[in-house]
Structure 1
Amino acid sequence: MVHYWIDRHSDPRSKCLVFTHGLTADHRIFGRQVPYFKEDYTVITWDVPLHGLSRPYTDFSFNNAARDLNEILIQEGIHEVVLIGQSLGGYVCQQFAVDFPEKAIAFVGVDTTPFGLSYYSRSDRFWLRQVEWMSRCYPHHTLVKAIAKGCTRTPEAYANMITMLAPYSKAELCRLMGIAYSGFLKENKETDFHFPVLLILGEFDNFGKVSQYNQEWVKKTGYPLQIIPAAAHNSNEDNPEFFNARMDEFLDSL
């Protein structure tokens, strides 16, 4: 069963924002966004399949995750959404926009990378396939701390990431990373979105090649890129005030 949370705005005309978290995190990564944005919007957060309360889950794919999100929207009677996807959540959002283009009115990619075959070299694809077995080489506590430290810059964001990682055993954590990255390689495709897009990147996001991919994404598409100062991969948590203000400006422009 996929779990989600909704803060419905009293004005039925208000836009709906769907926040989708990244790999090994859960809905709690948006703890500084929900209280802020629910004042003006309907806000949905959810635990992506294989994460948080949405586990166990069989037959994971980004296509199936997009369908699960669509079922949530059908259940809540919501017909259009602004998609906000952090890291791996950006892949779910892009897949949703491909599968349900009539429901996606905008996309905010937060420290994520693009769908598109041309962005990823043969070497990139090779190393993504190695993630699962390489992660098995580390003791569990070392792996957890390395993931949390690599994603965050502030003590608060680090502590929250540790909390979100706590439920996973080492075997589950490694398998999760393997399934997610292999799934991306299988489902990656060329895309052409016809709605507003904002890319957001932490100033100190050194997670893999995320920064490099974003620069290429901007060159290819012309999408605006907003750098979040004093922030790493979980930029919405490291600097929520700046992040929320930049998202507010984008939403006001829609």
Structure 2
Amino acid sequence: MPQLEVDGAALTYDDEGPRDAEDVPLVFVHGWTADRHRWDHQLAHFSTGRRVIRLDLRGHGESSGAGVRTIAELARDVLALLDHLKVERFVLVGHSMGGMISQTIALLHPERVERMVLVNSIGKMAYSRGRGLLMAASTLVPYKLFIATNIQRAFAPGHPREEVREYIRASAGTPREVVMTLYGAMRAFDILDRAGEIRTPTLMVHGYHDIQLPVRQMLRMAKAYPDAVVRILDAGHELPVEKPAELTAALDAFLTVKP
């Protein structure tokens, strides 16, 4: 797989599909503790007709690097890759933390983002006092238990257990420093006051059973967007792998509607 050196990290990425396609490239950004393979179904579908780019964020998957402290720093990594590939304008598709990165890019460079899709993502993590204390306490348990608990909660009830175990094992391979630092970065993320500035046509797709980032938090963000379409699917927080075909169909429908 190709890699790009950016500020001490080697970012692994895929760049597939026709370069001469009429439509701008799709750029897929995965979430916390995940990797670019969350988008396998979408890559296979869309790369037959348009350019598709996805990457492993620093410290995730096959990318090296640590030391990142904020969502904005991850956004700069994505932009560095797109600049390297000479991609000026694109469609962003971000899952969970990847949606936070996507919104950051849309605020920094609205002229470059043709459309945006936010999958199980929000503009601000909001907790009741009790849940906030519980989440803070969860960081004190052994690392593998912390990972296992968070990944288990990400899937809707009834998802095949062995598949969930595979994702737990993969997530546990993400360095502890990266996981815990970005956990804090997500909790600090807040663009709600600026959401109205994002004029990019946006699709928000969310899992009805998402308890990591509940639907009500997404709807709180959606009402601030001047141009947003909302889709709710029968899934949990891991829509790209829980309902890959339904998510792909939702993306397809959104992308084919002329602005």
TM bracket, shorter-chain basis: 0.7 to 0.9
Please say if 1:138 is aligned against 2:147: no
Aligned to 1:238: 242
Q: Could you list the runs of 5+ residues in structure 1 that have no partner in the other structure?
A: none
Calculate the TM-score normalised by the size of structure 2: 0.82
Amino acid paired to 1:236: P
Aligned to 2:152: 149
Q: Equivalents in 2 of 1:177, 1:197: separation in Å?
A: 25
Which of the numbers 214, 226, 238 marks the counterpart of 2:218? 214
Higher deviation after alignment, 163-172 or 74-83? 163-172
Q: How many residues align?
A: 244
Task: Please list the CA deviations of residues 35-69 of structure 1 after superposition, one character each: whole Å capped at 9, or x if unmatched.
Answer: 11111221111122342333322243222222221
Task: Please list the CA deviations of residues 53-101 of structure 1 after superposition, one character each: whole Å capped at 9, or x if unmatched.
Answer: 3332224322222222122112112111111110111110011111111
In the TM superposition, 1:1-254 aligns within 5 A as: 1=9, 2-114=11-123, 131=135, 133-153=136-156, 154-155=159-160, 158-168=164-174, 170=176, 173-182=179-188, 184-185=189-190, 190-191=194-195, 192-208=197-213, 210-221=214-225, 223-229=228-234, 231-254=235-258
Q: Equivalents in 2 of 1:214, 1:11: separation in Å?
A: 36
Q: Equivalents in 1 of 2:48, 2:169: separation in Å?
A: 27
Task: Please list the CA deviations of residues 201-224 of structure 1 after superposition, one character each: whole Å capped at 9, or x if unmatched.
Answer: 11211214x311122233333622
Task: Give, in angstroms, the shift of residue 199 of structure 1.
Answer: 0.5
Higher deviation after alignment, 165-174 or 96-105? 165-174
Task: Please list the CA deviations of residues 6-51 of structure 1 after superposition, one character each: whole Å capped at 9, or x if unmatched.
Answer: 1132534232111111111111211221111111221111122342
- C-alpha root-mean-square deviation of aligned residues, in Å? 2.7
The 1:205–1:157 alpha-carbon spacing in structure 2 relative to 1, beyond 3 Å, is: farther
Task: Give, in angstroms, the shift of residue 5 of structure 1.
Answer: 1.5
Q: Equivalents in 1 of 2:75, 2:132: separation in Å?
A: 22
Q: Equivalents in 1 of 2:204, 2:106: separation in Å?
A: 15
CA contact (8 A) 1:135 1:174 kept: no
Instruction: For residue 224 of structure 2, give the secondary structure of its aligned residue in structure 1.
Output: helix
Q: Could you list the runs of 5+ residues in structure 2 that have no partner in the other structure?
A: 1-8
Instruction: For residue 164 of structure 2, give the secondary structure of its aligned residue in structure 1.
Output: helix
Q: Equivalents in 1 of 2:85, 2:137: separation in Å?
A: 41
Calculate the TM-score normalised by the size of structure 1: 0.84
Q: Equivalents in 2 of 1:46, 1:128: separation in Å?
A: 31
CA contact (8 A) 1:24 1:173 kept: yes
4+ residue runs of structure 1 moved beyond 4 angstroms? 123-131, 169-172
